[in-house]
Every structure is written in structure tokens, then in C-alpha cells.
Amino acid sequence: MNRYTTILLLCVGIAFTAVGQAENAARRRNFNTENFIALREFDPVSYFQNHPAKGDAKYQYDHMGIVYYFANQANRDEFAKSPAKYEPMYGGWCAYTVATTGERVRVDPKAFKIIDGKLYLFYNFSGDNRLRKWDAEKKKNLKATADKNWIKKMH
């Protein structure tokens, strides 16, 4: 390889790294995290086993700037195969609130629902259970509205 090819490849590599870092920064801004740790340390795979479980830092996985904790190595490995399958919708913010007001509101990690193979989380504090509201308003197609509102928030 000549010197110009090496320099060109180096520049391309730097450009791809910069783009990846920018994407990670945007994800971090839009995800509901504490110190870039998602789901209040709950294991995302455990939701699909219908038993949300607290994860452990020794089984962590960084996916594009967002860190997830897992209850065990098997769940970590499963997530690593297909992160998009397990990541929460709307950055882990309350799905009902994203649908109704477009705002980002914290969630109770135990208030969840799997819809069409995707994880949705909900606010459930002080007697305000937004998962119940989501279920009560099925006819309004809240999912479609939340999808539109989330796309607006991401840009």
C-alpha cells in the first residue's frame, strides 16, 4: 500500500468513528438513562421472559452508547445477538405520555407491556397507572400516535 492509500483509509476510518460517536451522543440524549444505564438497571431480556429482573453490572453490555445490565450471562449474550429486538420503545420513556402529549416522562420499570414483540414501558406512580390508561384507550391507536411523536422528538 502506498502512503496516499494509507492516509485515505485513515481519514475514512476517522470519519466513520466521528459519525458513530455523533449517533451515540444523539441516542444518549434521547434515551431514559441514569449515567447512560438504561431501564434503571433492569435486564431487557427478562421482560420477554415475563419477569422483569434487576440486572448486575458484571453482565453489562454497551449498545451504541447505552449501557444495559443483565441478570445473567445468557441474557447478555441473547441481547448482544439482536439488541433492536430488546431495546425499549421510545427510548424507555412512558409510551402513553409520548402518545398523548409527546413528552418524555419517567417510568416504573415494572409497568410494561410487550406489543408485537416490542417492549413498552409506562409511568406508574402516585396512583397514576398509565399502562391501564393505554389499555383502556385501545381504540385510539396510541401506538401510531406515539410513533409519530417520537420521530418528531428524535429530530
pLDDT at 2 over 80: no
Go through the chain and tell me how many residues it has: 155
pLDDT at 119 over 50: yes
Domain boundaries, the chain: 88-155
Q: Across all residues in the chain, what is the average pLDDT?
A: 87
User: First-to-last CA distance in the chain?
Assistant: 41
- Comparing 16 with 88, the larger pLDDT belongs to 88
pLDDT, position 23? 58
The residue behind cell 458513530 is 20
pLDDT, position 26? 73
DSSP states along 64-114: TTEEEEESSHHHHHHHHH-HHHHSBGGGGSBHHHHHHT------EEEEEEE
> Are 38 and 67 spatial neighbours (Cβ–Cβ below 8 Å)?
yes
Q: Kindly report the pTM of this predicted structure.
A: 0.83
pLDDT at 9 over 80: no
